[in-house]
Chains A and B, each alone.
Chain A
Amino acid sequence: MARILVLEDERAINDLIALNLGMVGHTAVQAFTGKEALAIAERTPLDLLIIDVMLPDTNGFKVYEKLKGTPAIFVTALGETADKVKGFECGADDYLVKPFEMAELLLRVEAILRRTHKSENHYRIDDLDVDFEAKTVTKAGRPIELTMQEYALLEALIRNRNIALSRQKLMREAWDVSFLGETRTVDVHVQRLRKKLGLGDRIKTIYRFGYRFEESQ
């Protein structure tokens, strides 16, 4: 699991990001000033930085310059294009403008971790083992045949574990389309997943919303 530095001076937002990262299994290290962030970076290795551009003691770009080499996502209230360009010119990997959706942040975190090979490549729970690289699933040592859609659904649910995904989002993840109409297909596939993998307790239906993969029961 990745160690991610969250540098944001607004306590409420910092806590929010940390909480979300923690939900899906990452370790969030919180910093509220540029100074703190640099001190933390000296002590511990980091896989990713999530940086607010406007900080009380400095600006996020400067901190990033000093921590060069670690991928970063910038978060800011500045919507102006000039700042976006600046963000990417200094090598930022991604950029989010407040207000943003946490699911969006998690998605981008995952994408960067995958690109830098810091993403988890195995997930084990109970007697289930999912290999994200080979895209194979074994249960109690026995390989289980899954269709492409079933596998994609399972990976999306596990990568966003403990957080519910809407049917539309799952649809987009597994079928790679923004689907506006019938989402019952998702229900059918989730039913099959539960049956094949014995995940009836782990994949919870969230009323009128979607599904959530739960680690703790």
Chain B
Amino acid sequence: MKLRQKSYLLTVLMIAAVLYTSTFFLLLPNIRAAIASIESRAIGEEKALALAADGLFETTPQQDRPKYARGFAAYDRGEASFAIGYADQTWLATEPAPPETEFGKTKWLVQNGRTLLVITDTLSDGIFLRYAFDATGEVRRLERQAIGMVLICTALSCAIAVALYAMLERVNRPIERLAHELRTPLTVIRGYGELLERAKLSPEQQHQAAGYIVSECERLGEISQKLLTLADARKNVFRPERVRLSELAAHLMETYPTLVTEVEWESLTADRALLLSLLGNLIGNAVKASAPDSPVRMRATPGVIEIIDAGSGMTPEQLKYVNDPAHAKNPSIRTGLGVPLCHEIAALHGASLRFTSKEGAGTTASVCFSLPKKSSPRKRKDS
């Protein structure tokens, strides 16, 4: 139990890890390309501005330069900010002023929540141009993309985890069920045993205690039989072959004299022995529920085999138990190898087992096989 949970968790974690790493590597070139494009755009714009400034200042006397520099305010398009000046004098700075960085370098900065690419350039005559490209929007977009991928990965791992869990549950449930079923007889046997050992019981009480111990031991025997059959069904005993239903019906009619069969389904791929055991169980239950001479019908139509009886039927509650293979205990139905095993065999064949019933009117057990898509033409060929 513990080990199973551990290995399950480990598998889920591994899947999640693989998903996350692969998305990371998928995203990486994308992010690199986006950054490179921002950088080339910023550098290009800065170059254009620098060229324009250089051209202007070359033909301007020194004292007029600050005045002319103000004309560059027209270049301010909001996306970038820049400053022009000489030594520690700033002639023009757009709002918000670009941060000061080392000369001749391109640098990424985060300032007041904005992501900036800052380029500081020296023009002719020692005039400086500080240019800050605002890449906040681009970075946000990349972030959103990454978060989206992480969310998709998380959702995907969750879905895989749930699917895996459901699968594990389906595989292990019947055994767990039987393990739970063991506890009741164990409690009873132990309890009455203790009473016999320790308490002063009247002869009737002693008789009752012994009776309970014996009947619960019988139940233990039944459970052990179920476990064995289950183990067989699980080992590689599943050998599917082409099974002719008319032949199967004939076989069953020999065992159950009150069985009436209508076979309109030629053949199917199934494990003959298991299918026989499944149908035998269902027919056995139907016979038990019916009056001694009342017939039990088996009807096979393509994809569905039904066992129909006109017996005592089941209460809605009982019906709930037999239809739910996962239900931990069904006190009222304890027949043959048990309905859980029937569910198990049906599941092995990719089929589902469903009971419909009306109290006093009878029960119908339907085994529905999922037919392959091309079944209808083949069916025609068969018949």
Give the interface of A toward B (CB within 8 A).
9-10, 12-13, 15-17, 19-20, 23, 54, 56-57, 77-78, 97-103, 162-165, 204, 206, 209-210, 212, 214, 216
Given contacts A98-B186, A164-B198, 16 further A-B contacts (CB under 8 A): A12-B188, A13-B187, A16-B212, A19-B195, A20-B195, A54-B329, A56-B331, A56-B332, A77-B328, A78-B180, A78-B328, A98-B183, A99-B186, A101-B194, A164-B197, A216-B200
8 pairs, A vs B, C-beta closer than 8 Å:
A12-B184, A13-B184, A16-B212, A19-B195, A98-B184, A102-B191, A102-B194, A206-B198
Shortest A108–chain B CB gap in Å is: 15
Which A residue sits closest to B332, measured CB to CB? A56
Chain B hits for A102, CB < 8 A = 191, 194-195
Is B208 close to A, CB under 8 A?
A: yes
Q: Which of B112-162 contact A (CB under 8 A)?
A: none
Chain B interface size, as a band, is 20 to 34
Q: Is the CB of B195 within 8 A of A16?
A: yes
Q: Is the CB of A13 within 8 A of B195?
A: no
Q: Is the CB of A20 within 8 A of B191?
A: yes
Shortest B107–chain A CB gap in Å is: 55
Chain A hits for B180, CB < 8 A = 77-78
Interface of chain A: mostly helix, strand, loop or mixed: mixed
Shortest B248–chain A CB gap in Å is: 35
- For the complex, give the distance between the alpha carbons of A97 and B183 in Å: 9
Known: A10-B331, A12-B216, A15-B208. A98 touches B198 (CB 8 A): no
Give the interface of B toward A (CB within 8 A).
180, 183-184, 186-188, 190-192, 194-195, 197-200, 205, 208, 212, 215-216, 317, 328-329, 331-332
Shortest A109–chain B CB gap in Å is: 14
Which A residue sits closest to B188, measured CB to CB? A12
Chain B hits for A17, CB < 8 A = 191
Shortest B177–chain A CB gap in Å is: 10
Known: A57-B317, A99-B183. A16 touches B328 (CB 8 A): no
Q: Is the CB of A209 within 8 A of B198?
A: yes
Known: A54-B328, A56-B331, A103-B194. A98 touches B205 (CB 8 A): no
Shortest B194–chain A CB gap in Å is: 6
Shortest A190–chain B CB gap in Å is: 16
Chain B hits for A162, CB < 8 A = 199-200
- For the complex, give the distance between the alpha carbons of A20 and B199 in Å: 9
Chain A hits for B208, CB < 8 A = 15
Known: A54-B328, A56-B317. A12 touches B212 (CB 8 A): yes
Which A residue sits closest to B198, measured CB to CB? A164
Q: Is the CB of A16 within 8 A of B199?
A: no
Shortest B344–chain A CB gap in Å is: 21
- For the complex, give the distance between the alpha carbons of A100 and B191 in Å: 8
Q: Is the CB of A13 within 8 A of B188?
A: yes
Known: A9-B331, A16-B212. A100 touches B187 (CB 8 A): yes
Chain A hits for B186, CB < 8 A = 98-99
Known: A56-B317, A98-B184. A16 touches B191 (CB 8 A): yes
Q: Is the CB of B331 within 8 A of A209?
A: no
Shortest A19–chain B CB gap in Å is: 7
Chain A hits for B190, CB < 8 A = 99, 101
Shortest A76–chain B CB gap in Å is: 9
Chain A hits for B317, CB < 8 A = 56-57
- For the complex, give the distance between the alpha carbons of A16 and B194 in Å: 10
Chain A hits for B188, CB < 8 A = 10, 12-13, 16
- For the complex, give the distance between the alpha carbons of A166 and B180 in Å: 30
Q: What are the 4 A-B residue pairs with the smallest beta carbon separation, nearest first?
A: A164-B198, A99-B186, A99-B187, A98-B183
- Indicate the member of A19, A54, A97 with the most B CB atoms within 10 Å: A19
- For the complex, give the distance between the alpha carbons of A181 and B30 in Å: 75
Shortest A153–chain B CB gap in Å is: 16
